[in-house]
Amino acid sequence: MAWTREQMAARAAQELRDGYYVNLGIGIPTLVANYIPAGMDVRLQSENGMLGMGPFPYAGEEDADLINAGKQTITTLPESSFFSSADSFGMIRGGHIDLSILGAMQVAENGDLANWMIPGKMVKGMGGAMDLVAGVKRVVVVMEHEARGQAKLLKQCTLPLTGQRVADLVITDLGVFTLARRGEANMVLIELAEGVTLEEVYAKTEATFTVALEEKVQS
Amino acid sequence: MRKVRSTVAEALEGILGDGMTIMSGGFGLCGIPEALIEGIERSGARDLTVISNNAGVDGIGLGRLLATRQIRKMISSYVGENKLFAEQYLSGELELEFNPQGTLAERIRAGGAGIPAFYTKTGVGTLIAEGKEVRGFGDDDYVMETGLVADVSLVHAWKGDAEGNLVYRMTARNFNPMMASAGRITIAEVEHLVPTGAIDPDHVHTPGIFVDRIVHVPDPTKHIEQRTLRPAESV
């Protein structure tokens, strides 16, 4: 059985560390906030200009001036701060954010990432994705292993890139891969989802990877 | 230094023209200068280049200027919420320049600060870097991006005084402070026009030097794109 969206988010949450400043993308990455381990202190950054993002508001407490980068209503926490978009991307570009968890359409074995544009289709824009992958210290991708039967882990991305050699870790519904951002491409399968076979991963992956399955750590 | 204008029409009087470049603050519909945008709509100014992170939604904010076909070109990072935008873009009526959001914010900041260009890692090796200078610093490559200025900047603030000092509220700050600094003429709409001296100088976000005209727009309708709630806790 492959991992569900919730299980992928829970696995991504294992990448959090105490004291981290973290930016979560839209979709499955947003769900990671539900799996922050109890007692772990992390600060969520929202690139439209907030650190210390709180949970969604209760009915009647929503405020049009308080939204996240997905334009969803949110709340403050005692530690929250607000700032301009220039300061926000200064944090991102300046390497002050520890971890970015985001979705992708394709990832190549060398860490290239594509998630903003399909030629010939209406393009909505890259928003902050290019800044995040270029500037954040560690980039974790959470995505389905395939899209409509097409491999998404490729030798080379066929879609226009969001960033070159930017992915450190990819979590799919089938397993977890590490990647190298410098030197030779080096994609390694380190975990398999429960019940998923190596044969299935090989069959659904175009990228070249080696296998070094780690001891399963139960959290 | 008479900056306060009593109506939106007066605030825009004598400064608009066809073919101008206009910056418009806001992120999504949060912190947009909605009354001033409607003033642009009524002015009939055409062939505008608009620099704004987003393009409003159908019928609200910049979506209104798309409906009247007053915009010729948008410089934005994300325009996903606007059907009219897609139609005009696909038919070739509307020109579009995508910038990564942080690059857009920094280009505006740089423009306002008199910096003609800067280098950033964002976009290296992507379509965004095509035709631009790429230069190595240390072990990494960086792409050169240029500063942006506008003929007119429109911003929305929570509080302002007759001096033009502005205070923004929560995430409605976003692009407004940089845009205020990058307009040859900057017009601010404020929810609360307070007496000079009522804002603690330590709490001013945009100093009045960046603001040429200010107009009081009390109790504006604010829009929420994605009303997302937490279920009430069961006891």
Query: For B196-204, what is the mean pLDDT?
Result: 97
pLDDT tens for residues A99-134?
999 999 999 999 999 999 998 887 899 999 999 999
**pLDDT of res. A218:** 52
Residues of A in Cβ contact (< 8 Å) with B30:
48, 64-65, 67, 71
Please judge whether B177 and A124 are an interchain contact, meaning their C-beta atoms are less than 8 angstroms apart.
no
Q: Is the distance from CB of B210 to CB of B184 less than 8 angstroms? A: no
CA-based nearest residue in chain B for residue A125: B78
User: Cα(first)–Cα(last) distance of chain A, in Å?
Assistant: 20
Distance (Å, whole) CA B161 – CA B180: 15
Write out the two tokens for A166: 């930017």
Confidence band, pLDDT 50/70/90 cuts, at residue B86: confident
DSSP track, B74-93 = EEES--TT-HHHHHHHHTTS
Confidence band, pLDDT 50/70/90 cuts, at residue B235: low
Distance (Å, whole) CA A143 – CA A190: 16
Please judge whether B78 and A117 are an interchain contact, meaning their C-beta atoms are less than 8 angstroms apart.
no
**pLDDT of res. B234:** 58
Distance (Å, whole) CA A8 – CA A27: 11
Q: What letter does residue A203 receive in the DSSP assignment?
A: H
Q: Is the distance from CB of A94 to CB of A122 less than 8 angstroms? A: no
pLDDT tens for residues B17-52?
999 999 999 999 999 999 999 999 999 999 999 999
Q: Beta A146-147 vs A150-151: how paired, if at all?
A: antiparallel
Instruction: State whether residue A134 sits within 8 Å of chain B by CB.
Output: yes
Write out the two tokens for B177: 């402070």
Sequence-separated (6 or more) residues with CB below 8 Å from residue B101: A47, A85, A89, A126, A127, A128, A131, B53, B77, B78
**pLDDT of res. A104:** 97
| Percent of chain B surpassing pLDDT 70 | 99
Distance (Å, whole) CA A121 – CA A113: 19
Query: For B88-97, what is the mean pLDDT?
Result: 91
**pLDDT of res. A216:** 60
Phi, psi of B100 (to 5 degrees): -55, 145
Residues of A in Cβ contact (< 8 Å) with B120:
93, 134
Confidence band, pLDDT 50/70/90 cuts, at residue B82: confident
Q: Is the distance from CB of B217 to CB of B63 less than 8 angstroms? A: no
Q: Would you call B12 helix, strand, or coil by DSSP?
A: helix
Q: Which of A143, A47, A71 is nearest to A102 (CA)?
A: A143
Assess whether A47 carries a catalytic annotation: yes
Q: How many residues are there in chain B? A: 235
A182-196, B171-185, B221-235: least confident range: B221-235
Q: Which of A67, A68, A130 sits opposite B122 (nearest CB)?
A: A130
Distance (Å, whole) CA B28 – CA B152: 20
Q: Please report, to the nearest 10 degrees, the dihedral formed by the alpha carbons of residues A79, A80, A82, A86 taken in order.
A: 80
Query: For A155-176, what is the mean pLDDT?
Result: 98
Q: Kindly report the CATH class assigned to A5-211.
A: alpha beta
Confidence band, pLDDT 50/70/90 cuts, at residue A1: confident
**pLDDT of res. B62:** 97
**CB neighbourhood size of A148 (10 A):** 5
Q: Kindly report the CATH class assigned to B4-115+148-216.
A: alpha beta
Using CA atoms, how far residue B48 sits from B66, B87, B111, in Å, is: 10, 18, 19
| Closest approach of A121 to chain B, Cα-based (Å) | 9
Q: Is A13 exposed, middle or buried (0-12, 13-18, 19+ CB in 10 A)?
A: buried
Q: Which of B102, B122, B227 sits opposite A73 (nearest CB)?
A: B227
User: pTM to 2 decimals?
Assistant: 0.96
Please judge whether A56 and B120 are an interchain contact, meaning their C-beta atoms are less than 8 angstroms apart.
no
Q: Would you call A150 helix, strand, or coil by DSSP?
A: strand
| Closest approach of B112 to chain A, Cα-based (Å) | 12
**CB neighbourhood size of A47 (10 A):** 26
Please judge whether B173 and A134 are an interchain contact, meaning their C-beta atoms are less than 8 angstroms apart.
no
Confidence check: pLDDT of A57 > 90: yes
Distance (Å, whole) CA B224 – CA A65: 9
| Closest approach of B54 to chain A, Cα-based (Å) | 9
| pLDDT, mean over chain B | 96
Instruction: State whether residue A14 sits within 8 Å of chain B by CB.
Output: no
Q: What letter does residue B27 receive in the DSSP assignment?
A: B
Using CA atoms, how far residue B171 sits from A51, A195, B59, B123, B157, in Å, is: 10, 44, 22, 26, 11
Residues of A in Cβ contact (< 8 Å) with B78:
124-127
pLDDT tens for residues A34-46?
999 999 999 999 9
Q: Is B1 exposed, middle or buried (0-12, 13-18, 19+ CB in 10 A)?
A: exposed
Q: Which residue out of A6, A15, A47, A215 is catalytically annotated?
A: A47
**pLDDT of res. A113:** 98
**pLDDT of res. A123:** 85
| pLDDT, mean over chain A | 96
Confidence check: pLDDT of B85 > 90: no
The structural domains of chain A, with segments of one domain joined by +, span 5-211
Alpha helices in chain A (DSSP H): 5-13, 28-31, 85-93, 129-135, 198-203
Q: Please report, to the nearest 10 degrees, the dihedral formed by the alpha carbons of residues B57, B174, B231, A76 taken in order.
A: -170
**pLDDT of res. A87:** 98
Q: Is the distance from CB of B92 to CB of B114 less than 8 angstroms? A: no
Sheet containing A106-108: order of strands: A113-114, A106-108, A153-154
**pLDDT of res. A217:** 54
